[in-house]
A and B are shown apart, each in its own frame.
Chain A
Amino acid sequence: MRDVPTGSLKLEDTAFLSPPPVGAPLYQGAHALFVHGFNPGATLDLERNGVIVLMGVPGGFPQPLGARLHLSAPLVAGDVVRARQQAHGVTSGWSPSVTVRKHTQDHPDGPPRPRIDPVPVHPGGSRTGVANLLTGSTVWLTANATELARVQDAAPRQGLDVTPDHRPWQQVRAWAHLDGDPSPPSPVQDTVAAPLPLPRPGFSLAYEGTRQVQVTNLVNGARFELSLNGAFQGTWRTWGDAHRVDLPAPLAAGDLLSAVQWLSPGWESQPGELQVWSCGQLPAPQAEPLQCGDTSITLTMMATGATVKVYRNLVKAGEGGGPVVLLDAPVEHGDVIHVVQTLGTCVSQSAQQLTCLCVAPHVTSDPSGLDLFPVGQVDYDGGTTSIGGQTLHIRGTVFYPAQDDGGDAPFNKRRGKRGPVPLVFMAHGNHAPTDPSHLGYDYFQQALARMGFVAVSVDCNELNGWTGGPGNITDRADLINASIAHFQRLNAVGQRFAGVLDFDKVGLMGHSRGGEAVVIAPSRPSRPRAVNIRCVLSLAPTDWGATQGALEGCEFLTLLPAADGDVFENDGAKYYDRCRPPKFKSQLYVHNACHNFFNRRWLENDNGGNLPTMDRSAHERVLLTYGCAFFRSVLAGHDTLGFLVGTELPPATLTFLVHLSFKWSAGMTVDDHEQGNTIAKNSLGRPTTQMGLVAGEYRFNQAMAPQYNDSFYGDSIGMVAEPEAAPGTFRSQLEPPVTLSGKELWIRVADVFIEDMPPAKTGFQLGIELTDGTVEWIDSDAVGGVPLPFDTVFLTKSMLSTLRFPIRCFGSSKILRVARALHLKLNRENARPLAFDDLQVIG
């Protein structure tokens, strides 16, 4: 990606105008919907079930909310709607259709609970934002049980003007319903006085020609007053942060914008000002990286009020108001994309130039953000049990979907009536026994409970301290199983949890010694009968030697902190390699992550700050997003596995530090080197050949020969290919030939660490040899690249991660690709030994 002068490009403007997408999902009962991405000032048409029901509706500005289109009759399940826009005499095509559903199809327990956002709410506040709404809901706010505001036909995130303004000592809640079905109430927000004086408002840069400005640095609930060249423009209420204001006329260069804000009359802030910039200063907009096959671009930065134009190979292929602009056709490998923005007659002086990458997954939804239920929390005490000759308490804390937030709240009636819920049992690791380590995962428990799981954190503190040995691990496993048995009893004869727990869907999460314990808990004799442990998340697990053989019968995820200052050897890599799951296993090797920061009660950075370390919240975010994706997929059947495969990215997570391995049990394995049939044959028993490199099979572990070197910490056999003078290739034969169209080739790879950190990344090419003998190649850099090892100074590892090569990367999908061999080519000038494992055909 780079910016190029717009004037140097011969851009060809066509009459193409992007269809404006209709906000989805849409549910029965909504009286309104939202249309996005149209040109500022465009008019909109809406088609419902093939009939145009709205025509020429002024859209205004597409950001921040889109245009709210009111319907004469509420939506009905099965309705099909789509929209188009007209701007500067051009009519777009119709947007992709959205089919209306009943909200209970996606939310069988009723609409999700609204969330007041942002918080805190301040006394004097005049407007409050509410998020997590279904489009078209009715939403209202109460303060101390008195209604303050109500909005019908709400957007997914909706502001409400409150009357009277918020006061001190109020408890504010949001409520919603759709199609007569009420949501649970939002969490209570107590009003909290804002620090005074209020800050000076700011502005996003405004450019000549715009008719919309964005005021920033606003306080939640404040009123702000905007002036232009000293002339009063109006007073607005805001929920804070940033607020867009539509203007009656375009701004001119040099115009002076000014704003002040207040929560209480007489306590105005100092004014913030901005002088409008000239057309010549309008920069290129910025877009997310493109993945080949994308049918839209997403802007990450654009001028307020601008129109964005997208050119494919210099011919216009998209135009709209962002942040998403639909294109006239999917982006193909080799296309050159230019993106400019316009304000009136002004065109940005530069254009962003992009080409698509074969694999550039997009940020999508937040797998930890499913917020459906209030959360109850209670400590449990199941008495004592004898484990390993010790008398231990069966106790801990449990978070669960409840009627309302708080301790001792009843289980959510509606959820309970629908059927039993899955459970996740968590086990902490070793720490000072005086620290309640089991309380350290409350953020993870709460997130799981909000989405309908019962999340139990087992108190293993009686096993903490200076005791070492495998017995300490088996004791932890038995104590986890004792807690499972206790909840079985509560499900059978208890009060709160009677009949609402699903022991056919149980997951385990363990950290450190707890991470080793959860690997063995499913196979311990102490495991209660009639419990189906379907999945195990092993976070930074130790290896005290308590495991024996492979974990079987459970889907598996291990999270390995690369900057772990305690469990230095990332022993979970061995568990990953050994695991034989029913469907899949997954490994996250997380650079800049330490051992302790996943537990809120473990305060010190175990690597002593000697290694680059993310902050604590970033650690929690990794565990939350990937952990929730894992448990939701396995225990609730949600479509969240893409986060572990790597086809989508969670938001607000340092995903560039997370290196994924993923293996489907059912994939066609071309070579995993485990057959003992030498490097000369692959796992299919077909011959391999090497030219210009030296490849051999080695044990990727610390324990057994033959090892390539001592930088491998897993437990598999793989291949290391050393380059010779010329680019070298390794050929692995497929016989009979394999049809690859529509499939992906996956391979695990690592840049083998040898003594010193390499200065720059290396890579390789993967080739498919078709039946006519031609070989097509894709570079590893086009699919995410081979990561550099994480430099730990004293224990830098060669840790493999999985690269996915979709066959579409090799060119037009219209060609049927039947391969008779796969190739690996070490083609870099800085080629270094690369480790490979698990070459698979997926799909």
Chain B
Amino acid sequence: MATQDGGSGPEDTRKQRPAVPGIRSAVARRVRYPKPRRFFTAGREHTEVDVLEVDVETDADFPIAGTGPALFVGDVALIDSERVGERRYRFFAPASTPLAKDASVALGRAGSGIPRPETPRGLLRLEWSADGSR
């Protein structure tokens, strides 16, 4: 008769880092802004009028905290974001950002250390909106 213990020890009740929300969709588009938008590269501020916007739908909201959402498109992390609705976030990047077509997308956390993907990769791919220029 099989036993339930399987040789495992008691569960460590101290939880791992709280999970980030799951990602349901990520749709990109290229937008030309009437007023330049700020970006930072290695702490240096610059402005762009040609901007990539990626709208992401999640299965829960991120908490409002010191850290915040990061979107991974392939290996590229986007950390400029704002919430545009319940469980909907818009990420921004300069249009020159090399986002691979059909890249896998994942969510992580920005604001502390190097952002790393924390949701499974490969389950969802970046879509481009019909009015996108790519």
Contacts and interface: CB of A to CB of B under 8 A. Distances in A.
A548 B40 CA distance: 10
Nearest to B36: A389
Contact of A467 (B39, B81, B114): B81
Contacts of A702: 113-114
Contact of B66 (A432, A467, A595): A595
Interface string A450-474: 0000000000000011111111001
A569 interface: yes
A389 B35 contact: yes
Contact of A543 (B62, B83, B112): B112
Nearest to B78: A469
Contact of B62 (A466, A471, A565, A568): A466
B82 A468 contact: yes
B16 A793 contact: yes
A226 B15 CA distance: 55
A659 to B, nearest CB: 20
Interface in B76-124: 79-83, 89, 92, 110-114
Interface string A543-555: 1111111000000
A548 B44 contact: yes
A608 interface: yes
Contacts of B112: 542-543, 566-569, 571
A431 B64 contact: yes
A210 interface: no
Interface residues of B, number: 36
Nearest to A514: B66
A351 interface: no
A544 B111 contact: yes
Interface residues of A, number: 43
B45 interface: yes
B22 interface: no
A610 B15 CA distance: 6
A571 B111 CA distance: 9
B68 interface: yes
A482 interface: no
A465 B66 contact: no
Contacts of A545: 40, 42-43, 79
Contacts of B67: 542, 566-568
Which of B13, B17, B35 has most chain A Cβ within 10 Å?
B17
A545 B82 CA distance: 17
A611 interface: yes
Contacts of A540: 66
Interface of A: 388-389, 429-432, 464-471, 474, 512-513, 540, 542-549, 565-569, 571, 595, 606, 608, 610-611, 702-703, 713, 793-795
Given A464-B64, A467-B83, 17 more contacts: A389-B35, A430-B64, A465-B83, A466-B64, A467-B81, A468-B68, A468-B70, A468-B111, A470-B45, A470-B80, A474-B45, A512-B65, A545-B43, A567-B66, A610-B13, A713-B113, A793-B15
20 contacts: A464-B64, A465-B64, A466-B62, A466-B81, A466-B89, A470-B40, A470-B79, A470-B80, A471-B80, A474-B40, A540-B66, A545-B43, A546-B43, A548-B44, A567-B67, A567-B111, A608-B15, A610-B13, A703-B114, A793-B14
7 pairs of A and B residues whose beta carbons are closest in the complex: A548-B43, A468-B68, A466-B83, A569-B113, A469-B80, A512-B66, A470-B40
